Structure 1
Amino acid sequence: DNSPEDMCREMEKEVNVLIEESAQLNLERRFGESLEKAKEAGKRERKLCAKREETGLADQINIDLTYSVFFNLANQYHANGLYVEALKTYSEIVKNKQYHQSGRLRVNMGNIYFEQKKFPNAIKLYRMALDQIPNTGKDIRAKIIRNIGVAFVRLGQFQDAIASFEQIMDASADVQTGFNLLLCYYALGEAEKMRKIFNKLLAIRAHGLDVDDE
């Protein structure tokens, strides 16, 4: 007979296979099927945890596997347009102090609110994410700040949007953010600032061409 450890290892493999199958179905845009696999992975993982507890193996509960199950399930809910369920599932992860990736997950939550046009909620989640992502993660921080700026544009709060876009342009200027800033200045009738940012955009483009020519 298999020992409890062997049985649990076998169950863990089954959960991993279901997660992989779910992710593959998502890539194939078979979202309904990917969600069913994700739910099945969740059920199996709960059974696995219960089995480990009842056989005195609770110290072997794999928190990384639990994270993968929840993360994949949230992704599949999102892919199926089930925003409430996706947000609820992400919330289960971010409130668990054992997981250190909650900053990036709050970005996903912010994106869901953005898709629902709930821009104040999106901004709140993006800001919470920024608080948890270190300054070393410059690229992801810039993307989040840009998202905040775009959300403010959608709300018609151009001054707040400008503050976000200027922050990026001061740190690491890029063409897309420059254009966003140009549009905000245009909306507020800031002709002189438009001229300055237009020149900065030309400089970025020229610099890019220089690099390509080498």
Structure 2
Amino acid sequence: MPLHVPPAPAPALRSVLTALGSPTAVREARTPSLRNAQGPATPELPLPLHVLDELTAAGAAATRLAGWRFLIRCGDRAAAAAETRLTPDGWAFSHFFEGPYIASTERALRQAETMQQPYQPRLLSVPGLYMLTLWLHGDCTADGASGHPAATDLLVPLAPAPPGIAAHRPHRVAELLPVLTHRVTPAPAPLLSQPA
């Protein structure tokens, strides 16, 4: 079933295209694969990047849109990614980067394409666990820039995933959020006994 990729804001895409066209921005990026790419580099698959700011004891999640992430295709593969962020003046290019999440994102998207149910792909970052997931939202018509994970949405942890959480295994939000909540909730401080 095809994924329904939400459209990125036009200014976000323009800012990435401008950065790709700037020899200075590409040369100064910490992305050797982008600097050494042969042929044109094109931004593809814009995904809204949401950050999980808060997990409550009940497993409810407070998320916010942090930006839009574009995979940068050079030839037959994604060599890097570009991220944009919202500024007081609108959407602006933030930075290029590379690393294991690029290939992992591509793999998770290919995996999601084989599922029976249609989904809207997003990214969900869990900073407290240094974790990034592909968030498959069940409402394909929703605004990709807003909303919270629904209990029936799927989260696919990207590699490298935190210890004990399998990368590339889809989890229902209702199943994974309690695990994440337990992981990010600090253990209560031990009670000190009072002298008698």
TM-score by length of 1: 0.28
Which is higher, the Rg of structure 1 or of structure 2? 1
Larger helix proportion, structure 1 or 2?
1
Larger strand proportion, structure 1 or 2?
2
TM-score by length of 2: 0.30
